[in-house]
Amino acid sequence: MNGGIEPTVRLDGVGKVYGTGVSAVAALRDVSHAFTRGSFTAVMGPSGSGKTTLLQCAAGLTRPTSGSVSVGGADITRLSEAELSGLRRHRIGFVFQAFNLLPALTGRENIELPLRLARRRPVPGRVEELVGRAGIAEHVHRRPHELSGGQQQRVAICRALVAGPEVVFADEPTGNLDARSGREILGLLRRVVDDLEQTVIMVTHDPAVAAHADRVLFLSDGQVVNVMEAPTAEAIAAGLGIH
């Protein structure tokens, strides 16, 4: 259930300007939003509207020019680079359009890599539980090139979840998949939100993909211009001006 009201990620008046002087670009302007625990949010908007910048600011990959970002109650805009990289390693999961698995490692080794990098032992049974949930238990002994795109993305989702993060960020996670594999990935993200009370924030261009989320943030020119609850593909398409 999406019962929690405690925000996992909170943006307060976030602005981001790239460059200076005449070449300055305001990618985000005064964005405030609380992403609640156990919620699934899609971020949409035209190319150049600031979607990637919003994700990167929320994930501590880019520092905002103004405003603040908190993750799990901690203001991350005050952290040093070392503290930020520790936070990303322990409390934030990422899923990328291009999967970004290491080709020389098996699926299981890819999933366990964040723990090895953090010098943490897996919680007993945790990896088995994740790969079972993702339906890839029989496949994780293989290397990425021996897996389908959908299987590789399921490995990547397990890797994002293995350290028990506060929040998982996904940038076009179905962008490289066929429609059927894409639906399976969205079903998996939906279940991790519902069953594990995980928080997922996903950028997508596709109304049918965004319709799996609990709400959609629409960005235009660096600002949140609309928030749609319980979205349907039709309502999203209308909101984007697609008829």
Binding site for Mg ion (CB under 5 A): 51-52
Nearer to Mg ion, 51 or 133 (CB): 51
The stretch near ligand ADP (CB under 6 A) out of 17-25, 118-126, 134-142, 146-154 is 17-25
Nearer to ligand ADP, 164 or 239 (CB): 239
What is the nearest approach in angstroms of Mg ion to the Cβ of residue 129?
A: 32
Candidates 2, 76, 66, 42; CA nearest to 171 is 42
DSSP 123: P
Q: How many residues bind ligand ADP (CB under 6 A)?
A: 12
Nearer to ligand ADP, 17 or 233 (CB): 17
**Position 53 contacts ligand ADP (CB under 6 A):** yes
Residue type, 195: D
What are 146's two structure tokens?
Answer: 């021996």
18 binds, among ligand ADP, Mg ion, none (CB under 5 to 8 A by kind): ligand ADP
**Position 45 contacts ligand ADP (CB under 6 A):** yes
What is the Cα–Cα distance from 1 to 195, expressed in whole angstroms? 7
What is the Cα–Cα distance from 184 to 174, expressed in whole angstroms? 9
- The string over 79-112, giving b where at least 16 C-beta atoms fall within 10 Å of a residue's C-beta and e elsewhere, is beeeebeebbeebbbbbbbebebeeeebbbbbbb
Out of 2, 52, 68, 77, which residue is the one contacting ligand ADP (CB under 6 A)?
52
**Position 64 contacts ligand ADP (CB under 6 A):** no
10 Å CB burial of residue 171 (0-12, 13-18, 19+) is buried
10 Å CB burial of residue 199 (0-12, 13-18, 19+) is buried
Out of 9, 11, 14, 27, which residue is the one contacting ligand ADP (CB under 6 A)?
27
Ordered strands of the 25-36 beta sheet: 25-36, 7-18, 66-71, 74-75
53 binds, among Mg ion, ligand ADP, none (CB under 5 to 8 A by kind): ligand ADP
C-beta of residue 27 within 8 angstroms of C-beta of residue 55: no
Q: What is the CA radius of gyration of the chain?
A: 18
What is the nearest approach in angstroms of Mg ion to the Cβ of residue 45?
A: 9
What are 231's two structure tokens?
Answer: 């979205």
What is the nearest approach in angstroms of ligand ADP to the Cβ of residue 70?
A: 21
Out of 10, 11, 41, 50, which residue is the one contacting ligand ADP (CB under 6 A)?
50
What is the nearest approach in angstroms of ligand ADP to the Cβ of residue 221?
A: 9
25 binds, among ligand ADP, Mg ion, none (CB under 5 to 8 A by kind): ligand ADP
What is the nearest approach in angstroms of ligand ADP to the Cβ of residue 20?
A: 11
| Interface ranges with ligand ADP (CB under 6 A) | 18-19, 25, 27, 45, 47-53
